Structure 1
Amino acid sequence: MVDLGLAGRRVLVTGGTSGIGLAVAEAFAGEGAHIGILGRSSQRLSAAVDELRERHPKLTVVGCVCDISVDSAVQSATNDLVSQLGGLDHLVSSAGISGSLGSPVDQVAAEEFMEVQRTNVLGPFLAIKAALPHLREGTGATYTLIGSDSGFVAVPGMLAYNASKGATVQLTRALSTELYNDGIRVNSVCPSIVDTPMAREDLGVDSFDEVEFPVSKPTDVAWLVLSLASPRSSPVNGVSLIADYGYHARSSFPA
């Protein structure tokens, strides 16, 4: 077994009520870390907290309903959860939306475009803004963002999402530089399609069992997040780790 050095750490996960975020919370808890999660749905939040507490009765697991795109709400929820955790060592930004897919640029409403940016770009900014004073006092502090291979490649009909995930890549670089002297490492994990409720809804499928392309599990992404947050990865900073089975490296040009 490999000791990732995360036992006893305090972790805050946005979007931690389902999909990748919940898998990340479970993975940290499996390493003995105490968990705080933020989510928009009170029902999903309650279910996630209950599940984690049942599986990890010796750990502190707390949650708070929060709209990640509202500054005052993020500040209040973060302070509340960090107080209950007794501090903060790791922040993971997993909350995200895809918006409507398939529309050409001239049919994308401005408000729809901005809604995606508010959740996927403003949200991670507000999360680190609120968490920063606590992370500065933490141990081996890290901030890990959940990005996407859509920050590096594009297909028609995903303009808002592509733009938001491209911003995640540069936000990762900029924050890693700005927070370097604070000793806070910032990285992101950028998977391709992951089998989550959101992905199934986006693609209109009940299962990915029969698709002809590789699909990651939320636990695959969670492992990468743990790896980057671990003090064993202390040299790794400012990296957007593409996890797409090597598809980005392949040329689509018929040559």
Structure 2
Amino acid sequence: MASELEHRGLPGKVVVTGGSSGIGLAVAAFFLEAGAHVGIVGRDPSRLEAAAEGLRAVGPDRVGTACADVGDGARIGGAIDALAQDMGGIDLLVAAAGIEGEMGASCEEVSESSFRDVLDTNVLGTFLAVRHALPHLKRARNGNVVIVGSDSGFVAVPGMLAYNAAKGALVQLTRALAVELFDAHGIRVNSVCPSIVDTPMARRGLGVDSFEDAPYPVQDPEDIAWTVGYLASRHSRAINGVNLLSDFGYTGRSSFPA
């Protein structure tokens, strides 16, 4: 009888950046529950270990950790190499690490350092993770990358300048990587772009303790994990270069005031 991984066409060796919280942690749990080996990368040692402890309850012998800031090329490279060695390779990289920056700040109020930090983590960090995972993905049978983007790459609101800019860059980075890596190595690259997801970062950025009474639909991290699984499955082998909006159709709505 085929395993769940085989039945669903899911990769068996997965690295998740930003894996110690929010969407990244939900993605790690999703693949562990399906039977995969998972390595999570985070930059806070205590939060990383707390996340790993919870994940080991699901797959005690299939969880690896590496502490690194994705914006530091040497450290993220070492982290990915170490996890790949422990797992015997990498089939899937999920780039979920991200920060929100100065939410609510106007253009005149956003500091240069804060704007740079958002780009360094969300954009440069994604690029560096892909670049360092690439030697391992090239050796995989069905290597692929899923980037966690945002509907903020397509629409904008005041007070999210750096975040909007970074997520917009990930939209085109997804396309550019997909074209280059598929043609050269058969590696697929896609992104999932959700609207509001109930994560610690979203609560912090929006200044709320709960989304229970929110006047708009809110997703759970597990919803996004399922979408990552769909994009990563070999059954989705023709899906490449897609920035998949997960926003209840809100970006499809007309601006006509009727």
Normalised by the size of structure 1, how large is the TM-score?
0.96
Give, in angstroms, the shift of residue 253 of structure 1. Answer: 3.4
Q: Does 1:91 align with 2:76?
A: no
Which residue is 2:140 aligned to?
138
Q: State the 4+ residue runs in structure 1 displaced beyond 4 angstroms.
A: none
Deviations 1:194-237 (A, max 9, x none): 00011111111111011110000000000000000000100000
CA distance in 1, matches of 2:215, 2:190: 30
Is the 8 Å Cα contact of residues 101 and 157 (structure 1) preserved in structure 2? yes
Alignment counterpart, residue 173 of structure 1, candidates 172, 175, 188? 175
Q: Which amino acid aligns with 2:83?
A: L
Give, in angstroms, the shift of residue 6 of structure 1. Answer: 2.1
Which residue is 1:38 aligned to?
41
Identity of aligned residues (%): 54
Please say which of residues 244-253 and 138-147 is displaced more in the overlay: 244-253
Deviations 1:39-89 (A, max 9, x none): 0111111111121112223x4210011011001001111111110011110
Is the 8 Å Cα contact of residues 6 and 32 (structure 1) preserved in structure 2? no
Q: 5 Å matches for 1:149-188?
A: 149-180=151-182, 181-188=184-191
CA distance in 2, matches of 1:119, 1:176: 20
Which residue is 1:115 aligned to?
117
Give, in angstroms, the shift of residue 28 of structure 1. Answer: 0.7
Is the 8 Å Cα contact of residues 177 and 189 (structure 2) preserved in structure 1? yes
Which residue is 1:5 aligned to?
9
Alignment counterpart, residue 18 of structure 1, candidates 21, 24, 27? 21
Is the 8 Å Cα contact of residues 32 and 62 (structure 2) preserved in structure 1? no
Q: 5 Å matches for 1:173-252?
A: 173-180=175-182, 181-252=184-255
Is the 8 Å Cα contact of residues 147 and 189 (structure 1) preserved in structure 2? yes
Q: Which amino acid aligns with 1:134?
A: H
Deviations 1:91-135 (A, max 9, x none): 000000000111111221111111100000000000011000000
CA distance in 2, matches of 1:90, 1:192: 23
Deviations 1:182-205 (A, max 9, x none): 010000000000000111111111
Give, in angstroms, the shift of residue 139 of structure 1. Answer: 2.2
Alignment counterpart, residue 62 of structure 2, candidates 60, 63, 77? 60
CA distance in 1, matches of 2:109, 2:201: 22
Give, in angstroms, the shift of residue 251 of structure 1. Answer: 2.1
Is the 8 Å Cα contact of residues 174 and 243 (structure 2) preserved in structure 1? yes
CA-atom RMSD in angstroms: 1.2
CA distance in 2, matches of 1:127, 1:87: 15
Normalised by the size of structure 2, how large is the TM-score?
0.95
CA distance in 1, matches of 2:123, 2:45: 23
